[in-house]
Structure 1
Amino acid sequence: MRKLIFAISALALATSASFADPQEEREALMKANGRAMGALSAYVKGEKPFDAADVLAQLNKISEDAQKMDAAMLWPAGSATGNSESSPKIWEDPAGFQAAIDKFKTDAAAAAAAPPADVDALKASMGAVGSNCGTCHEAFRIKKG
């Protein structure tokens, strides 16, 4: 009986995962990354005193979310609908897009693994991580409004 309940639960979970909206998932990841980068920017701009624990938490959030990014799962063909900002270049150059994601993953993980001890070091970390955002957005994003 337990095996049957487990099997039904696993099937229900797998089915619900297959109905997940990749556009919503990727937008949620992007918004979370934007919030984390915004929090880090406040330290760089001097709007908040440097807080090493919060900086590490934000860098960990960015790194964790970066690791969730998978072009095939979050940008499947046909998923640019409605208000999507995804450029057709994503599907025209899937290898280039995946390479951009992979670089972001690597740089975000490196930043979290070596947390900055002060604002100057944070600037360097943000430069490395943030350049990935800018590069990818320039090549693979449609600017709305």
Structure 2
Amino acid sequence: MKRVAAALGGFLLLGASAVMADQKIAVEQDNLMRAQGKSMYAIIGKMVKGDIPYEQKAVDDAIADLEQNVAKISTVFTPNPKEQVKDATYGSSQKIWENKKDFDSKIPPVQKAIADVKGKIKDIDGLKVAFKSINDRCSDCHETYRLKLK
């Protein structure tokens, strides 16, 4: 009886460890996408809408952050956490891991859109063009691989 209880306890600990590991992976993926969302929408998007004033340094920093973070997508999304972040608004579709090659193919066009505008944005009109170009490439992936949870 003690052996059965010990074995069952071991399986429960293993299961809990796997769930915690999956949640850690899901949170890492979510944090990466949130960082990109901050640069894209909380900074660039708000400037484009006129919600915050145009500021060149903030634009340059946001573009640099996007460039750095987009390069991490394929690696960060290699493990499949098989669960969503608790209380998240958006999550990752299992389609990512069912068709990882297609998912990964969406990254270079985003990188190209960023590279095409980097260092060339000098005013709000240029920022509007850059925002649309980058956002359109982001949407190519989001339409297939992002889930609205709430």
TM-score by length of 1: 0.75
> Which segments of structure 1 move beyond 4 Å, counting only runs of 4 or more?
none
Cα distance, 1:85 vs. partner?
Answer: 1.4
| SS class of match (1:85) | strand
Provide the C-alpha distance between the structure 2 equivalents of 1:50 and 1:141, rounded to a whole number of angstroms. 30
Query: Displacement, 1:49?
Result: 2.3
Deviations 1:106-137 (A, max 9, x none): 2223332x331111110111111111222211
In the alignment, is the contact (CA less than 8 A) between 2:80 and 2:97 conserved in 1? no
Computing the radius of gyration over CA atoms, which structure comes out larger, 1 or 2?
2
Matched, 1:24 2:30: no
Give aligned pairs, total. 124
Deviations 1:71-124 (A, max 9, x none): xx3223532314371112112222210111222222223332x33111111011
Contact 2:67 2:114 in 1 (8 A): yes
The CA RMSD over aligned residues, in Å, is 2.1
Alignment-derived partner of residue 76 in structure 1: 78
Partner of 2:53: 49
Look up the SS of the partner of 1:124 in the other structure: helix
Q: 1:82 to 1:49 in 2, by over 3 A?
A: closer
Unaligned runs of 5+ in 2: 1-20
Q: Which amino acid aligns with 1:57?
A: D
Which blocks of at least 5 consecutive residues in structure 1 are unaligned? 1-18
Is 1:63 the equivalent of 2:70?
A: no
TM-score under structure 2 normalisation? Answer: 0.73
